[in-house]
A and B are shown apart, each in its own frame.
Chain A
Amino acid sequence: MTDAATALPLPAQRRGPLAAMWRRLRRNPVTLGALGVIVVLTVVAVLAPVVAPFDPEATDPAIALSAPTWQNLLGTDVYGRDQLSRLIHAARLDLIIPFASTAAALVIGALIGALSGYRGGWVDQVIMRMVEAVLAFPAFVLAMGLTAALGNSIGNIILTLAITQVPIYIRLIRGEMLRVREMEYAEAARTVGNPSWRIVVVHLLPNCIPPLIVQATLAMGFALLTMAALSFLGLGIRPPDAEWGEMTAEGASHMVTGEWWLFVFPGLVIMATVLAFNLIGDGLRDLLDPRMRGVR
C-alpha cells in the first residue's frame, strides 16, 4: 500500500519554474510575438554577414538612390549601398549598445540602491540627493550633454546611456529594499549571524528581481530610442557605421525629394524594436506578478 503511494508520480512538483513560466507565456500571444521579434532580430544581428545579401559598405554609383527592386529589396542610398544589408548590420550596434548600457546600469544601480535602502540614514540621504540631482536633468538633454562632452565613441555612448538610467534603478531597488529589509526572513537572516553584505546580496536582492527585470526590459526600448535620437542629431554613432537612427537622419534629408524608402524603413525598424521591448516589459510585469503565481 505504502509502496503504491510513494510510486505515484508528482507531476506538479517536477515541473520547474521555467516550465511554469513558459506555460503562462504561451497564453499571452502579444508578449510571445514581441519576444519572437527580439529573438529574430538577435539571430539576424549575430548572423549579419551571412544573412545580409550585400556588403553594407560597398558603394555602387550606378544604382544610387534606387527605389526597392527585386535585387535591392529596400532600395539603396546616395552611395548605392544596399539598405537591407545596412539595416541588418546596424542591428548589431542597435542591440548591443542598449543591452550593455542597461546591464551596466542595472548592476551598478542595484548595488547602490541596495546599500542606500538597507543602510538608510545619512548614506541613504546622500545617495538620494545625488540621484535627484541627476534626475533633475531631462534624460535626453543629459545624454546629449554627456556625449558632446565625452566624444561619441561606442564606449562613451554606452557610458552615457548607463548614466542616464542608473538613477532609476537606484530608486527602484532602494524602494524594494525598504520593503524587504523589514520582512521576517531578513530578521531571521540577522538572528543567525549573517554579515550585512550577505543578507543584502544573498537574501534580499533576489527578492527584488521581478520589478528589476520589468524595468530593464522597458529601459532597453528607451535606451535604443535615446541612442537612435543621439545618432539622428549626429551625437551618436558616426557614419559610415550603420545605425538605425543615423540612417533615419540621412533618409530624412531626402524626404522632400521623394526617396521615401530611406527614412521609412529605418524608422519602422526602430519603432518595431522599441515597441517589442515595451510589450515584453508589459507582459513580464503580468507574468512576474506574485498574484499570478500558481495560475496555470
Chain B
Amino acid sequence: MSLLEVSGLTVHFATDDGPVEAVHGLDLSVGAGEILGLVGESGSGKSVTGFSILRLIRPPGRIVRGSVRLDGRDLLTLPEEEMRRIRGARIALVPQSPRTALNPVITIGTQIARLFELHGDLSRRAAWNRGIEALDQVGVPDAARRMGQYAHQLSGGTCQRVMIAMALASSPQLLIADEPTTGLDVSIAARILGLLRELGTRTGAAIILITHDLGVVAETCHRVAVMHAGQLVETGTVRALFRQPLHPYTRALVRSIPRIDREVALEPIPGAVPSLLHASPGCRYMARCPHALEVCRKNKPSLDVVEADHRVACHALEANRAAVA
C-alpha cells in the first residue's frame, strides 16, 4: 500500500448556475520517496486536487465524494482539530507564488521559527536557531541576516527557498509543491527542482509536483499523472508515458514541448478546457480529440491498465497505439 492513496475524489464548486465539477472521480497514489508529477493545463483541477488532500477547499467548493488515505487513515473523515495537526506536520504545501504566500508584515525568521515552535515543541530561541539551519539547508545565503528581513526584501528565488524550508520544517511525509517554479527564471527553477529531488531522496518524503510543464516532469519526477478537465486521463512512469503517450491529450502535451535538438513545428492543442458546468456524460476531451468515436459521446472512458503501472482513460486505444507506433 502506498503512503497516499486518493480514490474517487470528487470536488464541486457551487455557482449560481449549478455545481461545477472541478475534480471528478480522481484516483491517485504516491509512495514514500516517490515524486509524482501532476500535469495538465490551467483549470484542469491540479491545484484543487492538492488542496483537497490537505482538506483546505473553502466554500463554495466542497469535497463531495472519495477518500484520501494517508498511511491508511482517511483524512476526509477526521475531525477538523486532528486534521489541523496533520497540516504542516505530516503534509506540507509549497504554494504557487512564494512572495505573496509570505506575510508582508512579519519577518521571515518569525514565520519560520513559529513552525518549529508549533510542530517541534522548541523554545523560542532554539526555534530561531533551527530556522537559520533550515534556511542554510535549502541554500539561502547569509541565512542569519535573512531571518530578520521581510518578504519584499528577498528575491523570488530566495522566497521560494524560504517556502520550501518552511514546508520541510516538520519533516513531512508528503510534500505538495504547487507549481513551485512559476515566475522564476530557468536557472533558479532548475536549482529549486534539484533541491526538491535531493530532499526527496534524503528525507524519504513523497512529493506531488503540480506543474503544467512536461519538461519539468521529465527531469524531476518518477511517475506522472495527467489531468484534463478534472479527470485523470493517463498515469504511468515517466519513461513509459514519454515513450508511449497513449492518451491523445498526453500526446498533444508532449508535442507542444519545444525541442532544441530537432526542427519540429510546435503543435498547439486545439480548443480549451471544456466548461465543467453541466459536463457531458461522455469523454471530456472529445471536442478536442482527433480520434473521437461515437462511444465517446455517451460513455466516460474508465482508467484502464494497459501495461504494468501505465493506465489510460480512452476509448480509442487502437488508434492511439497506431499513433505512437
Tell whether A and B belong to one assembly. Answer: yes
Contacts of A175-233 to chain B: CB distance below 8 A: 183-185, 187-195, 202-203, 206-207, 209
Contacts of B68-109 to chain A: CB distance below 8 A: 84-89, 92-93, 95-97, 100-106
Evaluate contact between B104 and A192: CB separation under 8 angstroms: no
Q: Is A71 an interface residue (CB 8 A)?
A: no
Distance in angstroms from B192 CB to nearest chain A CB is 17
Most buried by B among A13, A185, A190, A191: A191
Distance in angstroms from B170 CB to nearest chain A CB is 8
Evaluate contact between A203 and B106: CB separation under 8 angstroms: yes
Q: Is B14 an interface residue (CB 8 A)?
A: no
Alpha-carbon distance between A207 and B105 when the two chains are bound, in angstroms: 7
Taken residue by residue from 107 to 131, chain B's Cβ proximity to chain A (1 for < 8 Å, 0 otherwise) reads as 0000000010011000000000000
Most buried by B among A184, A194, A206: A184
Distance in angstroms from B307 CB to nearest chain A CB is 36
Interface residues of A (CB under 8 A from B): 13, 183-185, 187-195, 202-203, 206-207, 209
Known contacts A184-B96, A193-B86; is-contact A13 B153 (Cβ 8 Å): yes
Number of residues of chain B lying within 8 A (CB) of chain A: 27
Alpha-carbon distance between A190 and B58 when the two chains are bound, in angstroms: 11
Evaluate contact between B118 and A191: CB separation under 8 angstroms: no
Evaluate contact between B88 and A191: CB separation under 8 angstroms: yes
Evaluate contact between A184 and B97: CB separation under 8 angstroms: yes
Known contacts A187-B101, A188-B101, A203-B106; is-contact A193 B118 (Cβ 8 Å): yes
Evaluate contact between A203 and B87: CB separation under 8 angstroms: no
Distance in angstroms from B140 CB to nearest chain A CB is 16
Alpha-carbon distance between A184 and B153 when the two chains are bound, in angstroms: 18
Evaluate contact between A190 and B95: CB separation under 8 angstroms: no
B118 interface neighbour in A13, A192, A206, A207, Cβ under 8 Å:
A192
Most buried by B among A193, A202, A203, A207: A193
Alpha-carbon distance between A235 and B320 when the two chains are bound, in angstroms: 88
Known contacts A190-B87, A191-B93; is-contact A184 B166 (Cβ 8 Å): no
Alpha-carbon distance between A185 and B97 when the two chains are bound, in angstroms: 10
Evaluate contact between A194 and B101: CB separation under 8 angstroms: no
Residues of A within 8 A of B153 (CB): 13
Q: Is B54 an interface residue (CB 8 A)?
A: yes
Alpha-carbon distance between A194 and B115 when the two chains are bound, in angstroms: 9
Contacts across chains A and B counted by CB atoms under 8 Å: 60
Contacts of B113-167 to chain A: CB distance below 8 A: 115, 118-119, 149, 153, 163, 166
Besides A184-B96, A185-B102, 5 other CB < 8 A contacts?
A184-B95, A184-B100, A185-B100, A187-B101, A188-B93
A191 interface neighbour in B95, B103, B104, Cβ under 8 Å:
B95
Alpha-carbon distance between A190 and B119 when the two chains are bound, in angstroms: 14
Residues of B within 8 A of A188 (CB): 93, 95, 101-103, 163
Known contacts A13-B153, A184-B100, A189-B103; is-contact A194 B118 (Cβ 8 Å): yes
Known contacts A203-B106, A207-B105; is-contact A191 B54 (Cβ 8 Å): yes
Contacts of B1-20 to chain A: CB distance below 8 A: none
Residues of B within 8 A of A194 (CB): 84, 88, 118
Alpha-carbon distance between A37 and B163 when the two chains are bound, in angstroms: 46
Evaluate contact between B104 and A207: CB separation under 8 angstroms: yes
Evaluate contact between B106 and A187: CB separation under 8 angstroms: no
Residues of B within 8 A of A191 (CB): 54, 56, 87-88, 92-93, 95
Residues of A within 8 A of B92 (CB): 191-192
Alpha-carbon distance between A187 and B105 when the two chains are bound, in angstroms: 16
Evaluate contact between B103 and A185: CB separation under 8 angstroms: yes
Distance in angstroms from A57 CB to nearest chain B CB is 48
Pick 16 A–B contacts, CB within 8 A, sort by A: A184-B95, A185-B101, A187-B56, A187-B101, A188-B95, A189-B103, A190-B56, A190-B87, A191-B54, A191-B95, A193-B84, A193-B87, A193-B88, A202-B106, A203-B106, A207-B103
Residues of A within 8 A of B88 (CB): 191-194
Most buried by A among B86, B96, B105: B105
Evaluate contact between A195 and B104: CB separation under 8 angstroms: no
Residues of A within 8 A of B89 (CB): 193
Distance in angstroms from A78 CB to nearest chain B CB is 55
Evaluate contact between B93 and A183: CB separation under 8 angstroms: no
Alpha-carbon distance between A191 and B102 when the two chains are bound, in angstroms: 12
Alpha-carbon distance between A194 and B85 when the two chains are bound, in angstroms: 8
Residues of A within 8 A of B96 (CB): 184
Alpha-carbon distance between A185 and B111 when the two chains are bound, in angstroms: 11
